[in-house]
Amino acid sequence: MPIELKVPVIGESVSEIFIGQWYKGEGSTVAVDENLVELESEKATLDVPSPSAGVITKILKQAGDTAEVGEVIAYLDAVEAAPEKKAPEKAPEAPAPAPAPVAEAPKPAPAPEPPKPAPAPAPAPAAKAEPAKAPAPAPIVTQPVNHTAKPANYSQSLQVGAGNRTEEVVSMSPVRRRIAARLLDATQNAALLTTFNEVDMTAVKELRGGLGEAFEKRHGVRLGFMSFFVKAAVDALKQCPEINAIIEGDKVVYRRYFDVGVAIGSERGLFVPVLRNAEEMSFATIEKSINDLAKRAQTGSLRVEELQGGTFTITNGGVYGSLLSTPIVNPPQSGVLGMHSIVNRPVAIDGQVVIRPMMYLALTYDHRIVDGREAVTFLRSIKEAIENPARILLEV
């Protein structure tokens, strides 16, 4: 019985989606809950599992097409196809014994060997056939087409020029379009300013080195740097509530809860899943949550609601080697903290030049609501908490 595969409801405000890659083609056998196709909206990317075991009989929407929520994009024949494949597997077992007697019959058939001399008189035609094969390599010239026609998850048009001067035009995915629109909106509709500080990571590194193994054994997850910064950021936001607030018209809305977004890069794009009520989370809970969110960002299984409603964002360009940057605020938020690479640098401490693992911090904020005093106070609070982690643990 044919089953209609429809675009599921992805979010309240999402009416159109973008077809990514099909994991299975027409005629492919699929199992229940096996991922069939990748769908992208302007807010998230997700995989659609098969509702039943069976065979994909028809794909109506190809990679690069758009479709509306509820629209049929493929047809699946239910599980009847599965038993049919099992039957032929047993069938070959029966004929297996039959070949034995057949093998004896061909023994008297060495007679066909006489025809072998027949090819001998035709050496000349064989020689002529060889030159005929020579032009065959010509089609090898089609290899450049394979070079330009790289498979992509999005619709594309290719313009092939002479030699290596080729161009490839690829459609923006909804996620990338959404990111572009939001970042442009942030730069055009907010008075963004960035202030910097630096933090000595010695204490945190020593704490992780001394207790990291015990932490992992007890909680089943590694103790990373991000949990320290989430904790420090929540404490700093309490001291500087303007950075956790938003502007609505001519009013300022102060949020008394702390939903911290953590930027996660993946092959599917940049996602910022949110740690709800981060002020109530322990170090272990933060690390487990981030680990889970990062894994699901890679597989496209993040839910739309997990990407909405953050009050503040933390992004770590240091994982890619960034030494310094000016992150852009994620509207309607009023601030974003940028972490960077930890680099051993000479610093002056108590009149002595020593080598310490240092990290630059950057806070980009909306100057319409946040003044320089609050921004500097916020970064100084982060710095003091990270350089003396006991303050985080004792909440002082």
> Among all residues, which ones are annotated catalytic?
367, 371
CA atoms of 335 and 368, how far apart (whole Å): 11
- Which tokens is 378 given? 């916020």
Its sign, for the CA torsion 109, 110, 112, 114, is negative
Q: What is the DSSP letter of 7?
A: P
Locate tokens 């494949």: which residue?
Answer: 85
Which residues have C-beta within 8 Å of that of residue 245, sequence separation ≥ 6?
Answer: 252, 253, 254, 255, 334, 369
Residue 155 CA to residue 64 CA, distance in Å, equals: 4
b (16+ CB within 10 A) / e for 265-284: bbebbebbbbbbebbebebb
Nearest to 244 by CA among 386, 379, 370, 381: 370
Q: Are 232 and 382 in contact, with CB atoms under 8 Å apart?
A: yes
Q: Provide DSSP, 170-189.
A: EPPPHHHHHHHHHHHHHHHH
